[in-house]
Structures are given as structure tokens and as C-alpha cells.
Structure 1
Amino acid sequence: MKGNLMVITPEDHMRWVLSRGLSRLGYSVLPAEGEEEAERQLTQHEVALAVVDVDGPGAEGLPLIRNLQQMKPHLPLLVLTGDSSPQTALAALRMGAVDYLQKPFDLDELRIAVEKALEYERVNREVEFLRLETALRQGDFHLIGSSPAMRSVREIVAQVADSKATVLVQGESGVGKEVVARALHHFSRRRESPFLLFPCASIPETMIETELFGWEKGSEEEGARVGRLELAHEGTICFQDVTHLSLQLQRRLLQVLDEGAFLRVGGTKPVAVDVRVIVSTSQDLWQAVQAGGFREDLYYRLKVIPINLPPLRQRKEDILPLARHFLSRYDPRGRFQGFTADALACLEAHLWPGNVRELANLIERAVILCQCDWISVKELALPSEIILQEKQKPDKVEERPLRLPVENRRRADTKKQMRMEETEKTFNGTSRVRRPERSVRTNQEKGEGQAQSSPRGFLDRAETPVSLGEKRSVKDGSIRPEVFTINGEGFTITIRGQVYLDSLEKSVLEEVMEAVEGDQNEAARFLGLTRSSLVARLQKHHITTATKKRERPNRLPRRE
């Protein structure tokens, strides 16, 4: 069967002809004589299209179209009219009917009209789905974080997304309660239907009831205003700050949850809705119950699936992944390469009283103000005490250098001293190491010593470091950088003197392989490489992985 079609006409002969013809086309037909029987069929079956006779003998006319739309807002309607009533067909189209078919007609004309109406509805739903998907992409439904709390939240969302049970999301302001609600909707089967937010705290108390339930005017011609609860039919509605609802509205909301229907303001006929309800609040709902500001029966009805989001200061592991996520959101073209090491340290040190919302706003501000390739502490504009603590750390010039194990630092210092002694022997004829202050000469000394200039290619090392890109003039006319400071995301490397990339890569690989005790999988994860790429680099530098295991106090952290 192709689907359920409803035929609504008071004529027995017309109802029999339409039912027989549509059945021969492969459809399952639900015949109805009038509005009451049609309402009963709609509550029992899922109907793809309704064929309505609006001007036959005994037909209810246009009021039937209006009532059907109130009962089932998204039901497509195909109207049957006579040759002498084009105004009726046009009025039906203005009221929302998909198409009309003039009587008399044959079976082929009926088939084409039905297929056209179903195809129109299919395309309309597809366009609506794409529109909602675009809106969801512009919004945020990704649950970012590697902390145990966020892993638990993701597991709960995956388990209950397709359920119709109500969800209570609690947490401080700015922790991401709306993101959890959007994730519940996006990963459910209702993702093709609307997702609506109902901010209880921002709507005036005198208007909140009509905004939620809609209202009906006095005369039938004036129609009715649809509320947000009805607009979210077959979708999801999220009540934000639900404690701001009055006790009367709480009672009406409880009725909707229990019966699946409600009355518009001023209405007399119940409106049935199929909607998933999610409630978020930054207050303790049970304390509101004990204080008498919230109904206890509604509290237990809402707390079917509770989700508690801890503040950002209690899940420090999520700060850096969230910062990178917001950087990619506010910098979609990839103008920035990331954060400097000191910037990441300051982000982790901040307490974040505004939680995730404060972090998002801070990253957006930094993206607007930063004019470099890397976002530093300057653009973050964190509280002065955080930056002061970072500046007071020992052994710090501009950015934190990459810290090596103690044993490796001693070995590197020994090699550096040997190289300095060899250089001193070559150019000065002495084995003593040059003092740093002697390498800084005044302009007068430089002018007097032109006749005894250094050999070609020699470059005196200045005591003050030079940032990346800064260059010094050499007496032979060449220009070479003295010190390179390389900023990466989570690291800073300062290079003094000549260095070859192959040598640097080999040193990094040796240090990492020694730290992970030869575990290629762990080394590949830490370096952000595939295992095959790591093996190729190890073979290139003739590095063996058969390292001797020894006890180490710390292991390299896993790259998330």
C-alpha cells in the first residue's frame, strides 16, 4: 500500500466511487461521511492526504476545511468542487488546500491530482527539513567536552533522544542547557519537525498564556491565533526558566502533558498536539516546590529524566576543547592558527563565573580584536590577577618554552656548552666561554672594531631575545634572524642559532619514543599522526623502537 488517504463526502455513491478508484491505485482508503467521523479517523490513523468534497449535496463547505486544519495543521487537502463554483476552489486554496479537482473527472485525472498533491507535500516537507537543518547548524547542538560529566550527558542524550518522556535540565546560567535541549531534538526522530524555545522569564505575564496556547476571536471568519505549543506539533518545545510560570499555567501545562490536548484562550474545542517537552531551569526546582512557588505534581511529571550540568569551573578538561570549538565557529575561514601556550594556561586558570557563555563571548571578542595569527593573552582580556600570576612565573621571557625532562635538559645544556667552546676556539683562539655581556657592544665599539671584524658568517649572539621575524644586520651585508620563537597551539619553542628541520624532527621523535617507552600507537596519538606515517618517519631517521623500559614519573598526555 502507498499510504492512507481519507475521503470526506456526505454522498454515499461519491464516497464509494472514490474509495474504489483510489484502492485500485494502491492506496488504503479511510471513508468519512462528515467532520465527526473524520476526526475519529484522524485520531486512529496516520493520514497522508484528505480528499474533501466541499460543494456536493449536504457538504459542510469551507468550515470543514478550517476545522480539519485546526485538528491536523499539517494535513494536505485535495478539494473537489463543481464547474460552477470556482470561487469556492480559490477560497479553499487561500485557506491552505494543496490543490482542487473539478467534477466530473475520470480515474486518470484523480490519479494525477492525488500524486501531484502528495509530491507537493513531500517537496514541502523536504524544504522544511533542509531549512531546519540549516537553522540547527547555525545553532549549536554539539556536546563538547571530555570530562566524565559531559561523557555521562552524551550517554543520556543518546539513550533518551527518541523517547517521548519529559526531560528536566538543571544547571547554572550559561552552562549549556539549551545546547542539551537542541541535541535531544536533533538526535531524535522529530528532527524534521520544529524545535521551539519558550522563554518563560522574558514574556510578560499578561501575554504568556496566549503566546503558549493561542486564542480564538469571537466570530468564525476572524479565525484563531496559533500558540507556540501548537506550532511545535510533532516536534519539541523547550520551556526555559519554567519556575516563572504561574500556578495556573503550571496546572494547564500539567493537563497538556497528561492528556495531549488543550483549549485555546476563548476556545471551546480541544486541540490535540503531539509534542516533546523539555524543561530547563537554573534554580533548584525542589526548593521552589517547598517554597510553594511550584506545583509538586508537575515537578514529578517533569522530572522523568533529570540531567544536571555542572559549572565549567568543575570540569576544567572541557575548557580547551570548548575554546577551540568557539574559535572555529567565529573564525570559519581559518585566519587564526590557534592559541599561544600562555593563552591556554590563562584560560585554564580562570574560574569562569559566566560558564560556557562567558567563554564563547570572550573568544568572539578575541577573534575580532586579534591582528596576529595566534591569539595571545592580550586579546583574551582576562582578569588582571590571572595575567599577573602568569607573568610572575619563573624562567619566563615572552612565552613559555617547551619544557623537557630534567635529564634531557642537562644533556642539552652540556652539548650547548661544548658547541660554544668550539666556536670560541675557532674564532677567538681561546677555550673560554664568552660572557653574555661582552657580546653586546656599543656603536662606538662597533665603529672602532671594523678593521678587526669577525670572520665572514660569524654572528654575535645578543643577550636580549629577538621575536620571530626580527632580523639583525651583519657586517658582511647579510641579514639573518638571531632567535626564533615558534608559537603553536599548546606549546612554544625558542630556537637560538642554526638548526635543521630534519635534526629537530629527529630529536622530537627520539624524545617522544623514549617517553612512551617505544609504544608506537601512543606516540602517534600524541603527535597527531597515523601509525603508518609515524613508522615512515622513524625509518627515515633510523630510529629504533626497541627502547628499554624504565620507570618514569609522568607519561605524555593523550591528545584528544
Structure 2
Amino acid sequence: MKERILIVEDDPTMLDLLKDALKMENYDVHGVMTGGKALDFVNENETDLVILDLKLPDVNGLEIMEDILEKTGSLIVISAHGDIETAITAVKLGAYNFIPKPFDLEHLITEVKRALEVRRLKSEYELLREKLEEKKSLSEIIGESRVMRELKEKISLISRRNVNVLIEGESGSGKELVARAIHNLSGRKRFVAINCGAIPANLFESELFGFEKGAFTGAENSKPGKMELADEGTLFLDEISELPKDTQVKLLRVMETGEIERLGSTKIKKVDVRIIAATNRNLEEMVKAGKFREDLFYRINVVKLRVPPLRERKEDIPLLVKHFLRMGREELGVEVKGITKRVIDFMMSYDFPGNVRELKNMI
């Protein structure tokens, strides 16, 4: 596929000259004469490079550089009115180069080729970085059994989709590790965790939404809630089945509106939060029994993942043992050469009701 170039130039003669020269180099070339049309084009079309004249009839080219660069891979600035200060400003804003007019056409073509090559290299680097990040995040989930390979594939698929996730699994099976892996691969900012089963019901609302000074007895200072701290990030609600019924209503409203309000405040704050919830109970049965809100269940259950108990993936036990021995060496400075076959055989025959957490404690 040809690389697409947009030329933004208010002089029709210069515009036609540049278009013809770059078409001869086998690029897909388009031209516009105003900044407004340039923004419309890059918003509607995937563009590899923009050649931008700074002196435009409707706007100073420097003013639209940031918006253009958000949509395109690279930008070259041209101008007959440039000076050293303007050139430095353009490059600081992200331009690949600043070329003053008049310029040699061959020089411009050379710079175009270089800019596109740098863009290709950056794209390849970013792809490699993402693959390495994915490998690193998934490597923290120990296991090569079929069920664990399938789980890792699902994590990779859903991580960059901005959807809420419900993780089901027994206590100690590794639900938070899965949640962290999804977050790490998502590109979102901060991972904030809250254990719904560890907070008294009367404190849960203030913990989740925050409070202002004087909102209640003991509120000596204002404090942001977990939802606010997770703005543009991920909020992990562990043991969501323990969420008080009245708080379920308020959480649902926040998920529907994207708005929160601290206790003791009338100020509304917009938040962008991805919810990952985890439970060791059957939420569908709780919904039927009237113990969990059906509308909230459907809000969090956009994608469901099941973390298998250790007894369903016993072939992963030797890998987990090696991993925990290595952790012991690093954290405790204790050197253990290995574990006897007899101990491994015992572990393979044991059902581990406490799952991976129990195995870790045993090691």
C-alpha cells in the first residue's frame, strides 16, 4: 500500500508542484489550502506524513501542529517566513524537520523519505515494545497447561478493548494477577485495587468515592476515593459479591454516568475508569436470590474470565514450585537446590483447596 502524504500549502502553484513531484516518487499525495481542511483530512483519513506551510489564510500552522500530530505519524514544516526561533519551536512541537523557502525540490524529497523511514522504524519499535510488554505481563501468570494457555490468549485479546471484565475463580487461584495483566497490557494509567470484603459496610462509600473535610465525624481532611484515584486507569474490585446493596446502586450510577461525587460535596467530577471485578462466588445465583443487583451484574459482566483452580492444572505445579523457589532465593536470600521427587509426587496428588496461594505458603 502506498504511503499517504498530505500537503498543506496556500499557494496553488507551489501545491501543484509538490504534489506532482511526490506522485513521481510513488506516494499517495493529497493537497489542501487551509488549516481547517487539513484537520478535516487527517481526522477522516489515515495519513503517514503531512507537509505543512506555516503561513495559511485561516490559521498559523504552528497552532494546528499538535492536533495534526495526534492523528499522523510525521510532519515536515515549510515556510518562507521562518527564522531560527520558529524552526526550534516547530521541532519542539514534534516536527521532523523545518525547511525554509525557497528550497531545492530534491532536498525536500530526501527529507520526506527520511521522515517516513523514521516513522516506520518508530512503528516497528512500538510493536516490538508492545510484544515484549505483553510477554512480560503474561510471564507473571505461571502455567503452560492448556487451560492456562487459553486464559493467556483471552487476556491478550481483551486487554486493549475498553470493556469491563468479571473474573471468576476460587480463593488463591490468582484472580488479581490476571487483573493486573489485563491492566498492564491495556495502556491505561493507574491500577487501583479495593477488597470489597475487607472494608466495613459503613465505610465503603467513603472509601470508594472519597470525602470532603467535615463530611462525617473523624473526616479531618479531604480524601479522594478509589474511583477518583483510578481516573484514566483501572479499578479492581476484588470480592465484589461482598459489596453492600446500597453501594451497588451508587456504583451502578457511576458506571452509567461516569460521574462521582465525594461525600460532603456537591461538586460533580467526571472519571474514566475501567472496572475489573473478581469473585469466588456465583453472582448469577446471587442475582436470582436477590442478593446482588441484576443491572450491576450485566454492567460488570461484559467479558467473563474463569481462573481455573490448581487441581485442574496440576501439570503446572513443577513450574510454580521453581518459580516460588526462585522468589525465595531473591527475597529471603535462602538457597534451596531443589525439591525431592517424593515431595513433588505428594504435591501432584494433593488437591490444594487454597490453590496457588497455599502452594506458595507451603514452599
TM over 0.5, yes or no?
yes
In the alignment, residue 194 of structure 2 is paired with which amino acid? A
For the structure 1 residues 162 and 24, does the alpha-carbon distance in structure 2 shift closer, same or farther, using more than 3 Å as the test? farther
Alignment of 1:51 with 2:48, yes or no, is no
Select which of 271, 278, 282 maps to 1:281. 278
Alignment of 1:250 with 2:248, yes or no, is no
Query: How far apart are residue 87 of structure 1 and its match?
Result: 1.8
Q: Residue in 1 aligned with 2:194?
A: 201
Select which of 118, 121, 145 maps to 1:123. 121
Q: Residue in 2 aligned with 1:351?
A: 352
CA distance in 1, matches of 2:228, 2:111: 38
How many percent of aligned residue pairs carry the same amino acid? 27
Q: Residue in 2 aligned with 1:64?
A: 64
Q: Residue in 2 aligned with 1:105?
A: 103
Alignment of 1:23 with 2:20, yes or no, is no
CA distance in 2, matches of 1:330, 1:36: 61
CA distance in 1, matches of 2:190, 2:346: 34
CA distance in 2, matches of 1:63, 1:207: 37
Q: Residue in 1 aligned with 2:76?
A: 78
Query: How far apart are residue 184 of structure 1 and its match?
Result: 7.5
Structural mapping, 1:258-407, within 5 Å = 279-282=276-279, 287=286, 295-296=295-296, 299-300=297-298, 303-312=301-310, 315-327=313-325, 338-345=338-345, 347-348=347-348, 349=350, 351=352, 353=354, 355-356=355-356, 359=359, 362=361, 380=363
Query: How far apart are residue 117 of structure 1 and its match?
Result: 1.7
Tell me if structure 2 keeps the 8 A contact 1:174–1:358. Answer: yes
RMSD (Å), alpha carbons: 4.7
CA distance in 1, matches of 2:340, 2:171: 29
CA distance in 1, matches of 2:194, 2:256: 18
Q: Residue in 1 aligned with 2:201?
A: none
CA distance in 2, matches of 1:115, 1:152: 43
Q: Residue in 2 aligned with 1:4?
A: 4
For the structure 1 residues 177 and 99, does the alpha-carbon distance in structure 2 shift closer, same or farther, using more than 3 Å as the test? farther
CA distance in 2, matches of 1:178, 1:102: 55
Tell me if structure 2 keeps the 8 A contact 1:352–1:359. Answer: no
In the alignment, residue 42 of structure 1 is paired with which amino acid? V
Select which of 225, 240, 259 maps to 2:236. 240
CA distance in 2, matches of 1:22, 1:352: 68
Query: How far apart are residue 307 of structure 1 and its match?
Result: 1.9
Q: Residue in 2 aligned with 1:144?
A: 143
Q: Give CA-to-partner distance per residue, 1:304-341, whole Å, 9 cap, x none.
A: 54221133356545433422355467779xx8653113
Q: Give CA-to-partner distance per residue, 1:118-148, whole Å, 9 cap, x none.
A: 22233333444444444445443456153x7
Query: How far apart are residue 157 of structure 1 and its match?
Result: 6.2
CA distance in 2, matches of 1:53, 1:247: 50
- Between stretches 13-22 and 92-101, larger displacement belongs to 13-22
| Number of equivalences | 309
Tell me if structure 2 keeps the 8 A contact 1:168–1:302. Answer: yes
Query: What are the ranges of 5 or more consecutive residues in structure 1 without an aligned counterpart?
Result: 214-226, 229-237, 255-264, 272-276, 363-376, 381-560
Q: Residue in 1 aligned with 2:202?
A: none
Tell me if structure 2 keeps the 8 A contact 1:169–1:280. Answer: yes
SS in 1 for 2:194: coil
- Between stretches 29-38 and 198-207, larger displacement belongs to 198-207
Tell me if structure 2 keeps the 8 A contact 1:53–1:59. Answer: no
Query: How far apart are residue 155 of structure 1 and its match?
Result: 7.2
Q: Give CA-to-partner distance per residue, 1:38-87, whole Å, 9 cap, x none.
A: 44433433222222222344433322123334x53x73322223354332
CA distance in 1, matches of 2:171, 2:79: 57
Q: Give CA-to-partner distance per residue, 1:516-557, whole Å, 9 cap, x none.
A: xxxxxxxxxxxxxxxxxxxxxxxxxxxxxxxxxxxxxxxxxx
CA distance in 2, matches of 1:208, 1:35: 42
CA distance in 2, matches of 1:76, 1:9: 17
For the structure 1 residues 329 and 32, does the alpha-carbon distance in structure 2 shift closer, same or farther, using more than 3 Å as the test? farther
Q: Give CA-to-partner distance per residue, 1:480-520, whole Å, 9 cap, x none.
A: xxxxxxxxxxxxxxxxxxxxxxxxxxxxxxxxxxxxxxxxx
SS in 1 for 2:85: helix
CA distance in 2, matches of 1:47, 1:14: 21
For the structure 1 residues 305 and 247, does the alpha-carbon distance in structure 2 shift closer, same or farther, using more than 3 Å as the test? closer
TM-score between the two structures when normalised by the length of structure 2:
0.63
Structural mapping, 1:138-217, within 5 Å = 138-141=136-139, 144-146=143-145, 149-150=147-148, 153=151, 166=163, 168-172=166-170, 174-177=172-175, 180=178, 194=187, 198-199=191-192, 201=194, 205=210, 206=224
For the structure 1 residues 266 and 339, does the alpha-carbon distance in structure 2 shift closer, same or farther, using more than 3 Å as the test? closer
SS in 2 for 1:51: strand
TM-score between the two structures when normalised by the length of structure 1:
0.44
Tell me if structure 1 keeps the 8 A contact 2:39–2:67. Answer: no
Does 1 or 2 have the higher relative contact order (CA < 8 Å, sep 6+)? Answer: 2
SS in 2 for 1:144: coil
Query: How far apart are residue 89 of structure 1 and its match?
Result: 2.3
Tell me if structure 2 keeps the 8 A contact 1:171–1:309. Answer: yes
CA distance in 1, matches of 2:312, 2:49: 53
In the alignment, residue 191 of structure 2 is paired with which amino acid? F
For the structure 1 residues 212 and 336, does the alpha-carbon distance in structure 2 shift closer, same or farther, using more than 3 Å as the test? closer
Tell me if structure 1 keeps the 8 A contact 2:277–2:300. Answer: no
Q: Give CA-to-partner distance per residue, 1:360-393, whole Å, 9 cap, x none.
A: 5x5xxxxxxxxxxxxxx8xx3xxxxxxxxxxxxx
CA distance in 2, matches of 1:200, 1:33: 51
For the structure 1 residues 246 and 58, does the alpha-carbon distance in structure 2 shift closer, same or farther, using more than 3 Å as the test? same
CA distance in 1, matches of 2:82, 2:188: 43
For the structure 1 residues 68 and 183, does the alpha-carbon distance in structure 2 shift closer, same or farther, using more than 3 Å as the test? same
Tell me if structure 2 keeps the 8 A contact 1:170–1:309. Answer: yes
CA distance in 2, matches of 1:352, 1:291: 26
Structural mapping, 1:501-512, within 5 Å = none
CA distance in 2, matches of 1:325, 1:132: 24
Tell me if structure 2 keeps the 8 A contact 1:11–1:56. Answer: no
SS in 2 for 1:2: coil
Query: What are the ranges of 5 or more consecutive residues in structure 2 without an aligned counterpart?
Result: 196-207, 211-223, 244-249, 260-268
In the alignment, residue 351 of structure 1 is paired with which amino acid? F
CA distance in 1, matches of 2:168, 2:344: 29
For the structure 1 residues 85 and 358, does the alpha-carbon distance in structure 2 shift closer, same or farther, using more than 3 Å as the test? farther
Tell me if structure 2 keeps the 8 A contact 1:76–1:121. Answer: yes
Tell me if structure 2 keeps the 8 A contact 1:185–1:195. Answer: yes
CA distance in 2, matches of 1:173, 1:54: 61
CA distance in 2, matches of 1:329, 1:239: 27
CA distance in 2, matches of 1:209, 1:62: 37
Alignment of 1:114 with 2:112, yes or no, is yes
Q: Residue in 2 aligned with 1:89?
A: 87
